[in-house]
Amino acid sequence: MDHYRTQPMFQKKTRFKLCLLIVVFLILYVYIDDYYDLKPGSEQVYGGAVFSIIGNRDRPKAEQFITADTCYLPPIDLNASDVAEFFVPHPQKACNKTFRVLSSLTDGLLVIAPSAGSRCSWQCIEQLTDTSAKYGSWHEYTYGARPPCDWIRVLCFQSIVSLEPSYQYLHNQIYIPTKSTNRTNLPKYDVYLIGLDAISHNHFKKTMPLTDAYLRDNLKGVSFPYLSKVGYNSQPNQLAVLMGKRFVHNNHSPWSFPPKPASFSGESFCTNYYSLTEQFLPLIYAAAGYRTAHIEDEKTPIQAYPHCKGFGAVVANHTNFPYHDLVNFRLIDWNNLGSQINDEACQSDFDHAFEYFEEFVKAKTEESKFGYVNFVGVGHRQFLSDPMTKDGLFRDFLERNAGEFKNAFVFVWSDHGYHGGKYYKTATGQRDTRNPLMTVVLPEDLKSESGILANLKENSKRLVSHYDVFATFVDLAISSKEKLSSKTAFQAPITLSDLQTATKNRITELHGASLLRPLPSNRIDSCPSLGIPFVYCLCYWSEFYPSDHGLIDVLIEVDVPNAINAFIETQGATDKCQKIFVDSTKPVELAELAITSKDTQGRPIRLFRTNFWYPFDDVQFQVYFELMTTGEINLSGVLRYDNHRYYATCVSDPYLKLFCVCK
């Protein structure tokens, strides 16, 4: 009887439990539904770390996945909402000019005003090697002095007993000794490579519209909107153009991006002197009979940047290193020359380099001229809008020298896009930094709708790299005006064998194709085919948030840092570099790339990108990694958003600096 009396109570408990389960299920359903409806830019917490939802929520359709050998190049919009704020013009700091120039150097004649001082002298400063200068004897100034050098220092005193100079200045000219011609029998066009450091194709159009319009409309320049960089910063990209070699040791890449070996073992390009037989453009052009100039507003020439040996010899007829040696390197400059001719004169290293380059363009020489100039002081500054301040200057320069350029190939070019500050961290900034500027202007008599111009226009629609730019410059060095004017001479790609024959075997490796000619018929427009490392590739793959993000989150918190630390260990740097782990107090980005890839057994490989913070020194990593069907990960590329890697002085290998946070 008691049994039957308790049964209703049992049924009530059962019904209660059932209702409770239904309620819990509904709560979980709503939570899970909301969880998978996370939108791009929202966040979720997993394992203590906050994971940001990046890209589209939904997995793309199968046909939207593309292979590594398919290059999608959608336009880069610098008016996009995530970057528009960075291009607001910033007011320039007013400069109070307190220094008055009391001397001049015109057509080789040095003139010093009497008010500069009662006793004046001048001194030649000449290049000794590409990284050193020699200082000549002092000469007492008399009217009619014609210094036989490019860089002339002027020093004046008010009296014999004066200890401090009353006036000083540093003048420049293009001095050409008599009977110094290196001219070949066949006339050639002048060739100029004008570098605007850290300015992308779109950055240039947005911040230097006057210069862009003059190049396009007045000089009929051909723009290359799909030029991809091949390295992170200036050195590997500039030297790819100047030497045509690979300076990037790419230890990690996706399965479908087999790494290309670097041209140098370890850091031998930095620790050893380059040979004077190197395939370096100034040397190639000198051997071809050109008068050459290598000018930079950065104090260390790129072949020796930042602390490398360079050539240890003179590699160009004209260089502004004597200026840098005196103004930026001399440890004891007791009369403060640099401050006076720059700060007090409202000038900078850029202004002196710019003036010197224009002197070279205007110089009348028996030989054809090759000039390489790179300006850091235009785009590599504090704000993305800063190039606006130089736009009128460059447009006027092109206009003033339009007559000189009628007989010249002019390349306005950059090594890479902007890669600093908050802009670099945006999705637009990440693509833009990979897309450096290049516009090519032809000599006046080649501006017709045939031959070379037609080839350039066709190739401007293709994915190209700095290796192609190098091949183009070598092609120009070995070609006469007559050959370049021919409608049939440039209708086949140039080969390594062709260049070796023309340069007496100076060219030892070729990783690109001349843009003056049709590109090889078997060429594939993809980064793996062109030797562009994955992390610097301009090609675009859409990103989405993976449905199994919980599993991937664990890999990011555990396996990815372990892989980074394992690489540091293989480099024998654990005693110098800190152990890397994810800062769980800051957001972690996660995205999967819509790229299809398979291993050698045909099993699918998935590729991911994550951005995470390391807890100390404000260090932020961007890491690409692949997930194999075995559950293992393959570290596929590492970049850094912070500036700490520049100061990772505890290690010397530039690739290891990407991984290392010094202890």
Position 41 scores a pLDDT of: 43
**Residue range 23-40: average pLDDT?**
39
Residue 384 tokens read as 């993305």
Burial class (CB in 10 A: 0-12, 13-18, 19+), 488: exposed
Find, among 517, 435, 372, the residue nearest to 224 by Cα: 435
Q: What is the pTM of this model?
A: 0.90
Residue 586 tokens read as 């800051």
Position 93 scores a pLDDT of: 84
Position 260 scores a pLDDT of: 86
Position 649 scores a pLDDT of: 79
Could you read off the pLDDT of 51-87 as tens digits, one per residue?
555 555 678 887 789 898 899 999 898 888 888 888 8
Residues 392 and 454 in one domain: yes
Position 306 scores a pLDDT of: 84
Residues 519 and 414 in one domain: yes
Find, among 373, 388, 376, the residue nearest to 418 by Cα: 376
Residues 340 and 287 in one domain: no
**Residue range 639-646: average pLDDT?**
70
Position 62 scores a pLDDT of: 79
**Residue range 367-374: average pLDDT?**
97
Residue 460 lies in a domain: yes
Q: Which residue has the tokens 């050998």?
A: 69
- Give whole-number Cα distances, 578 to 564, 566, 573, 574, 575, in Å: 11, 12, 9, 7, 8
Domain of 405, CATH number, reads 3.40.720.10
Q: Do residues 200 and 419 make contact, with C-beta atoms less than 8 angstroms apart?
A: no
**Residue range 622-639: average pLDDT?**
94
**575 pLDDT above the threshold of 90:** yes
Looking at per-residue confidence, does 444 or 41 come out higher? 444
Residues 290 and 365 in one domain: yes
Residues 521 and 567 in one domain: no
Position 468 scores a pLDDT of: 98
Find, among 368, 361, 372, 272, the residue nearest to 316 by Cα: 372
Q: Do residues 516 and 472 make contact, with C-beta atoms less than 8 angstroms apart?
A: yes
Q: Name residue 203's amino acid.
A: H
Q: Do residues 396 and 402 make contact, with C-beta atoms less than 8 angstroms apart?
A: no
Looking at per-residue confidence, does 68 or 190 come out higher? 190
Could you read off the pLDDT of 298-330 as tens digits, one per residue?
999 999 998 899 999 999 999 999 999 999 988
Q: Which residue has the tokens 């045909």?
A: 602
Residues 529 and 427 in one domain: yes
Count how many domains the chain has: 4
Residue 507 lies in a domain: no
- Give whole-number Cα distances, 403 to 188, 211, 215, 398, 476, in Å: 16, 17, 14, 9, 20
Calculate the average pLDDT of the chain: 88
Q: Do residues 69 and 134 make contact, with C-beta atoms less than 8 angstroms apart?
A: no
Min mean pLDDT across 22-31, 197-206, 223-232, 506-515 is at 22-31
Tell me the percentage of the chain whose pLDDT exceeds 90.
68
Residue 153 lies in a domain: yes
Residues 283 and 375 in one domain: yes
Residue 485 lies in a domain: no
Confidence band of 8 (pLDDT split at 50, 70, 90): very low
Min mean pLDDT across 45-59, 86-100, 473-487, 645-659 is at 45-59
Residue 631 lies in a domain: yes
Min mean pLDDT across 23-27, 134-138, 487-491 is at 23-27
Position 100 scores a pLDDT of: 95
Min mean pLDDT across 366-380, 543-557, 639-653 is at 639-653
Position 173 scores a pLDDT of: 98
Position 135 scores a pLDDT of: 97
Confidence band of 50 (pLDDT split at 50, 70, 90): low
**541 pLDDT above the threshold of 60:** yes
**27 pLDDT above the threshold of 50:** no
**Residue range 144-150: average pLDDT?**
98
Residue 498 lies in a domain: no
DSSP string computed for 609-651 = EEEEEETTTTEEEEEEEEE-TTS-EEEEEEEESSSGGGG-TT-
**Residue range 160-173: average pLDDT?**
92
Residues 316 and 234 in one domain: no
**537 pLDDT above the threshold of 90:** yes
**Residue range 621-632: average pLDDT?**
94
Could you read off the pLDDT of 93-110 as tens digits, one per residue?
889 999 999 999 999 999
Residue 111 lies in a domain: yes
Residues 337 and 366 in one domain: no
Residue 169 tokens read as 């200045």
**10 pLDDT above the threshold of 60:** no
Residues 261 and 367 in one domain: yes
Domain containing 21 equals 2-37
Q: How many residues would you count in the chain?
A: 663
Position 42 scores a pLDDT of: 42
**448 pLDDT above the threshold of 90:** no
Position 645 scores a pLDDT of: 52
**410 pLDDT above the threshold of 80:** yes
Find, among 548, 556, 462, the residue nearest to 512 by Cα: 462
Tell me the percentage of the chain whose pLDDT exceeds 70.
89
Residue 178 lies in a domain: no
Residue 619 tokens read as 């260090």
Residues 265 and 402 in one domain: yes
**512 pLDDT above the threshold of 90:** yes
**Residue range 468-496: average pLDDT?**
94
Residues 408 and 419 in one domain: yes
Q: Name residue 159's amino acid.
A: S
